[in-house]
A and B are shown apart, each in its own frame.
Chain A
Amino acid sequence: MAEPTTPQAMGESTPGADTSPSGSGEGDKPSLIRRLELDPRLLGMLVALAAIWIVFHILSGGTFLTPRNLWNLSVQTAVIGIMATGMVLIIVSRNIDLSVGSMLATLGMAMAILQREWIPQWLGFDHPATWLIALAAGIALGAAIGAFQGAIVAYVGVPAFIVTLGGLLVWRGVAWAMASGRTIAPMDDTFQRLGGGRDGTIGGPATWIIAGVTCAALIGYLISSRRRKVKYGFAARPLWADVAIGVVGSALVLGAAWVINSYPLPQPLAREYAEARGIDYPEGGLDIPQGLANPVLILIVAGIVMTFMATRTRFGRYVFAIGGNPEAAELGGIKTRWTIVKTFMIMGILVAIAAAVTTARLNAATSGLGVTFELYVIAAAVIGGTSLAGGIGTIPGAMLGALVAQSLQSGMVLIGLDAPLQDVVLGIVLVVAVALDSIYRRRVQR
């Protein structure tokens, strides 16, 4: 791993003073951020995100930072975010995947045709197993397509840019040909829930439980990593810093859960909910929290799994090693080709999941699904600090990148900016983000 803020990098800082509760270490070389062992780029992005949110809140006359809009934002981010977690590994290993948008259309179309036209022939419409069969088939197909493209990159030696540019054309054409350009709708009843629409949320109590578990996991992680560092003689973070991170982190998680749960079910749906359960529907309306939307839950799970894979497994270390120096990795005995194929396979699987979420959310599959998504996914990864030179990148960063890009987009719709101008702003932000990142990196290296 070649990230500048790994524990090894921390070794340079003076390990002498263990606990200095006064935060007056400003003048010393190891700055506050450094001592907290936080990724400054991630922090920078959070600050940028906060700034974007506040500006849009003011410009939109107070609609941006409402629970409802933030809830929308979370759902709108999910599809790009899910794919961005996979794109990080691809880019880190010095490849690129331009085919994800078209693949999304092909896989979405395949799952739609399966559940609308094929499965009903044996099971009838809206059978409880339909969604699972369709999703599993889509994931298998996605993995196969990814493996196929990855194999051409790794074993035949065609540059990933070319292979996936070909894929961009091929899969778009295939998506079209599968249904001769028709729109397939509507989706299976259960499948629709993957999209976060009607009945597509986990409800208030479950949201609180997930938030609680997340907080517990965070605190557990802080304690265990502190113990390990002490045990192996590394300089541990000052205790107050660990406590501060635990408190702030938990507050953020619980705050997010609270915001999500303050967006109630729309009244027509609340009435249906009440009628279905035999509850009297009061005049003033019912306040039933929707809770986390399924696409967001999927995004969070994907993010956790992918982060674990990237940082805690041998495969993940290989990917970063290949990205840092392919020759050295090869000589070091890593099966670089197989590793590359695996990154593309994982990407294919994530595209299939994203395709399921999109088609479920739209409640339709069109051959134009996912046009230009490849650019948004790459932009999210890059805004999130993934380096196109390879070897550097984090999955939470890419997810945050997706959130930044989506915040800009939906914010601009909210203030009524026209579509072409939205593209202009997004393009500028992309370049500025990468420019800032490069400048920062050069300064750190010196």
Chain B
Amino acid sequence: MTKLRYLALLPAAALVLAACGSDDGDEEAPDETTEATEAAGDAGDGLSGEGLTIGVSWNNFNEPRWAKFDEPAIQDKLEELGAEYISTDAGSSAEQQLTDVENLISQGADALIILAQDGQAIIPAVESAADQGIPVVGYDRLIESDQAFYISFDNVEVGRLQAEYIYEEVPEGNYVFIKGNQADANADFLRGGQEEKLLELSGCTGPLTTDNPDAECPIKNVGESYTDNWETSVAQTNMEQFLTQNNNEVDAVISSNDGMALGVIAALDAQGLAGSVPVSGQDGDAANLNKVALGEQTVDVWKNAFELGEAAAEIAVRLANGTALDEIEVTSDLGSSAPASTTTEPFTTPGEIDVWSIILAPTPVTQENLDEPIDAGAVTQEEVCAGVEAGSVPACP
């Protein structure tokens, strides 16, 4: 089913490809030198990308996020450091991406940033690049190879933050867990983080299953289910069933992402409960940030793609300058995404390989800091504040 869904995007992908192919040309050329000299002064430790070319292999530009947030962030940072940006788009094809990487190398890339379509299938390309002395940054998605540097957000932390903010509202009561697609490893990472945080905060022994042996535990799991394809309407139906089963005695809902949170909120609203039962989410979708402003969603854990792009660009330039994988550090100001450790740490992959990595911190967005995604340009104030009473939250005066 998941496959079909991606397949379904192909016709549109063809259109977008045609549009994207030609946009990264000579725009940066004119003021490159002036910018570069400034930048060389800017970076604290004298980092410079002067004369370097960084190649970025996108897997699928059809997803709006990459073109809208990630690419400009990488471009800006590279420009600041004086390096040149070149890119390819594989249009969701793992085979195409192998060719793309070769093309980037023959175009003279000194380091590569790869958003992998498939973290396994890309390995031959990564290894061949490494053999030619060209370092690789695995961007946002894990590449199962110790030759690639890994930069991403901490998915387990997303789960922890969701749990933390919901627990703050409801330290005792009936919890429902709306999990993601069972076939997606992230669904379990998220649930794992939620479990860890809830056990830590409540002091329960767990596991927090519906038949929790710890009868003293103040947190009762009264409903938990995976959601086919992270589908909004499936989450809604499941939530309706949980409300029925518990006679509306549900005090909090931990939903693993935003799409599902919308379904949950619709089910709660039909019972007049929207706004009185805390709900979590993830992704920073405009519709959900609006729900946060309206008070129907408690927290939306947001991954600031601008900061991810900025960090990746810096790392790529450092690697191209000859810094070893295990000596990488990030000095850019990453705001609320700043990682727990700005120096590199080993990350153990599901395939039991240690890769060098920097893992950024996701940003929990509540009514108090709605201005962060707005200021970053991820959403507009108009979208967030639609239908919100003026002055009820700081972001909507």
Contact = CB atoms under 8 A, between A and B. Distances in A.
Given A366-B259, A414-B245, A419 B12 contact: no
Chain A interface residue bracket vs B: 35 or more
A69 B244 contact: yes
Contact of A267 (B258, B266, B272): B272
B11 interface: yes
B238 interface: yes
Contacts of A172: 5, 8-9
A279 to B, nearest CB: 16
A413 B229 CA distance: 16
Contact of A72 (B5, B8, B244): B244
Contacts, number: 146
A69 B237 CA distance: 11
Contacts of B226: 418-420
**Chain B interface extent, by class:** 35 or more
A68 B11 CA distance: 43
A174 B12 CA distance: 7
A268 B226 CA distance: 29
Contact of B271 (A169, A266, A416): A266
A368 B271 contact: no
B29 interface: no
B244 A68 contact: yes
A214 interface: no
A358 B233 contact: yes
Interface string B205-234: 000001000000000000111111111111
Contacts of B230: 368
Interface in B1-42: 1, 4-5, 7-13, 15
A76 interface: yes
A170 to B, nearest CB: 6
B238 to A, nearest CB: 5
B276 interface: yes
B160 to A, nearest CB: 24
Interface stretch (B141-149, B283-291, B365-373): B283-291
Given A176-B12, A186-B387, A419-B225, A181 B63 contact: yes
Contacts of A66: 244
Contacts of A268: 271-273, 276
Contacts of B245: 60, 63, 414
A68 B35 CA distance: 66
A181 B8 CA distance: 13
B266 A197 contact: yes
A115 interface: no
A416 B231 CA distance: 18
Contacts of B248: 266
B237 A76 contact: yes
A110 to B, nearest CB: 15
A183 B79 CA distance: 33
Nearest to A180: B64
A410 B241 contact: yes
Nearest to A171: B8
A173 B259 contact: no
A173 B241 CA distance: 31
B289 to A, nearest CB: 11
Given A76-B237, A266-B273, A358-B233, A183 B225 contact: no
Given A173-B11, A372-B1, A363 B273 contact: no
B204 to A, nearest CB: 20
B263 interface: yes
A363 B231 contact: no
B272 A72 contact: no
A149 interface: no
B240 interface: yes
A173 B244 contact: no
Interface string A182-207: 11111000000000111010000000
Contacts of A371: 1, 4-5, 229, 231
A168 interface: yes
A162 to B, nearest CB: 15
B240 A169 contact: no
A362 interface: yes
Interface in B230-287: 230-234, 236-238, 240-242, 244-245, 248, 258-259, 262-263, 265-266, 269-273, 276, 285-287
Contacts of B259: 183, 366, 368
A420 B271 contact: no
Contacts of A237: none
A102 interface: yes
B182 interface: yes
Contacts of A168: 8
Contacts of A269: 271-272
A209 B18 CA distance: 59
Given A183-B258, A183-B286, A186-B287, 5 more contacts: A76-B237, A169-B10, A176-B8, A371-B4, A423-B228
Considering the complex of A and B, which 7 residue pairs feature the smallest CB-CB distances, nearest first? A268-B272, A172-B8, A269-B272, A173-B12, A185-B287, A197-B270, A173-B11
12 contacts: A76-B240, A176-B9, A177-B12, A183-B232, A197-B270, A362-B233, A368-B5, A368-B232, A369-B232, A409-B237, A414-B241, A418-B226
